[in-house]
Amino acid sequence: MKVAAVYTSTTPELIETVEQELKDQFAGENLEIISFSNPGILQEARDNGGATPHCARELMDLYEKSAKAGADIILNICSSVGDIAAKAKPLYEMTGLPFIRIDEEMAREAVRKGRRIGVVATLRTTLEPTKRLLEKCAEEEGVKVELVDALADGAFGINQEQFKQKLIETGAKVKDRVDVLLFAQGSMAYAEKAVSEALGLPVFSSIRYGAKAVKSAAKLR
């Protein structure tokens, strides 16, 4: 099974966690992970307050490279470009190439478990696409949800222990208004346990859900 992981952020924590979760899902099976990345896409989205048409073109180029490299499944990692991934997914699946948004199954599980969801992000550009995904999943599940922004200003790029503390502080500000917290970015996953224990709330992060979705898609091929 050849899985193409498409990144717009290349932090070591993110890449290591994605690859480990995929390896755990495919333990004992033949798995090849190929990676395609363009950090300029995320930077452009940050600079412009959201994904631009140029971001879309560059991201589609990564998807096409994945397909041409013989990927059996495409795994989109970045949530800041979630709206682009949402448009690309049905197009690739029409061609017989499964396309997984890393955060989709996480969002679906979150709306099943909580009606008031705190959306935690370190980048403002990730908030709106993630909230749109949650609203879509809630509609499909037939439930109503209240989404609460929890932007961790200044958390992007700091060391791991400072990062965890920043997320705890951010989550604490909305703790009394939510049932669960959801991490909008895969790169936040390593802080899930620390934040959950500190705040006494369920915390959802995307990578393990995305890896499970890849495994499920692989079973259907």
| From-to residues of CATH 3.40.50.12500 in the chain | 104-205
Q: How far apart are CA 182 and CA 150, in angstroms?
A: 10
Provide the mean pLDDT of the chain: 95
**Helical residues (DSSP H) of the chain, grouped into ranges:** 12-25, 39-48, 53-68, 82-94, 104-113, 124-141, 160-174, 192-199, 206-219
Q: What is the CATH number of domain 2-102+208-219?
A: 3.40.50.1860
Q: What is the CATH number of domain 104-205?
A: 3.40.50.12500
Nearest to 151 by CA among 163, 167, 132, 135: 167
pLDDT, position 169? 96
Q: State the pTM of this model.
A: 0.93
Q: How far is CA 20 from the centre of its chain?
A: 15
pLDDT tens readout for residues 163-215 = 999 999 999 999 999 999 999 999 899 999 999 999 999 999 999 999 999 99
Amino acid making up residue 37: S
| From-to residues of CATH 3.40.50.1860 in the chain | 2-102+208-219
